[in-house]
Structure 1
Amino acid sequence: MLAQKPSLVVRLRTEDDVDACVEILKSVHSLDGYPVEGAAMARAWIASDAADLKAWVAELDGHIVGHAIVSRDQEGNAAADIWRNKHPDKAVAVLQRLFVSPAARKAGVGRKLIATAMSYSVQNDLQLVLNVMVKDTAAIRLYERMGWSCIVSATHHFGERQQMDAVCYAALANPSRNPTPQA
């Protein structure tokens, strides 16, 4: 008998999904140190604020295994500030709070969440940008495989005088050049 391929679905996040996302974030933080800030207040960090445009979860066989948000451009976000200064005529949005359960990695979850966010940005005429810590090499490889372009190196400041090297990326203007999401 042939094994069925797992069912991967990305849908809008609801309030009922936040507890599952908190548990996933705890495991991600424990394994990867992501996020460098916000894990201590995971619920508030995930649920975010009024700047959110859309928030999604990924389900694999009916279980939540990933999360992503697209937020409005906010002053002080390095990638958004760089893009806005060079391209003041284009509205900017930020892909953030993207994480995937360690148990679901290599199943296309991150790719599908990113593709969903990219599609949303294209449909809404938004330039999608993001910041990623240099230490998060797997995330960087995925963004680059999906056609994101590095726009600048930056320093991410957090906590009490803490900082970490980061890079800022922008999604390609032509999403048709991005690989098709795979489940």
Structure 2
Amino acid sequence: MVIREKAESDAAACLELLLEVHRKDHYPLHITAGQVPEFLESGHEAAAWVAEEDGRIVGHVALHTPPADPTLELAGARTGLPLDGLALLARLFVAPSARRTGLGRTLLRHAAAQAPALGRRAVLDVGQTLASAVALYEAEGWSRVGELHLPLDEETMLDLWVYVSPPAGAQ
């Protein structure tokens, strides 16, 4: 297994993998398969990595630095950290065939460890119903700093927990 920076040439394989994850787990929550490409290409990616095994991409994680984001705003308000000192850990997904191998944990640790190189600390949000993801973040020492309830439309609310990574060198 190799973790490496994502290249432009990885776009199609990353999309294929995320569509597979979406079919199996409905991640990302509350979007259709047709919306997955736009979700993956948010335009705010500061850095991203893929996990590759035998020439096949089996995992992905990114750090995003959007100009405005409710998750970053909440984390900044609760921790006192400046918004330009935070990065959103995003688009963390692993192939169903590579699950239960520690790959998600490895990608999480890798991205959080790279955030200081951008002058930032990692923050993430997670659907409150995604118990295994919540358990992973808490086992890795991430601190829950609050919750967000984001209306997606008149009938759908996205309920999220917000977490901040452990300080650099704490793991």
TM-score class, shorter: 0.7 to 0.9
Aligned equivalents of 1:18 and 1:159: distance in 2?
29
Instruction: Choose the corresponding residue for 2:152, options 135, 147, 158.
Output: 158
Residue identity matched to 1:67? H
**Matching residue of 1:3:** none
**Matching residue of 2:141:** 147
Residue identity matched to 1:100? V
Which is higher, the Rg of structure 1 or of structure 2? 1
User: Deviation at 1:38?
Assistant: 6.5
Instruction: Choose the corresponding residue for 2:164, options 161, 170, 177.
Output: 170
Number of residues of Structure 1 aligned to a counterpart in Structure 2: 168
> What TM-score comes out, normalization by structure 2 length?
0.88
When the two chains are superposed, the root-mean-square deviation of aligned CA atoms in Å is 1.9
Aligned in 2, Cα 1:159/1:69: closer, same or farther, shift over 3 Å?
Answer: farther
**Matching residue of 2:4:** 11
**Matching residue of 1:129:** 123
User: Deviation at 1:83?
Assistant: 2.1
> What TM-score comes out, normalization by structure 1 length?
0.83
Q: Does structure 1 residue 81 correspond to structure 2 residue 73?
A: yes
Task: Note the 1:25-40 alignment, pairs <5 A.
Answer: 25-36=18-29, 37=31, 39-40=33-34
Identity rate, percent: 32
- Structure 2 gaps of 5+ residues are none
**Matching residue of 2:114:** 120
Question: Per-residue displacement from partner, 1:72-102 (whole Å, max 9, x unpaired)?
Answer: 1442332x11122242546111001111111
4+ residue segments displaced more than 3 Å: none
**Matching residue of 1:5:** none
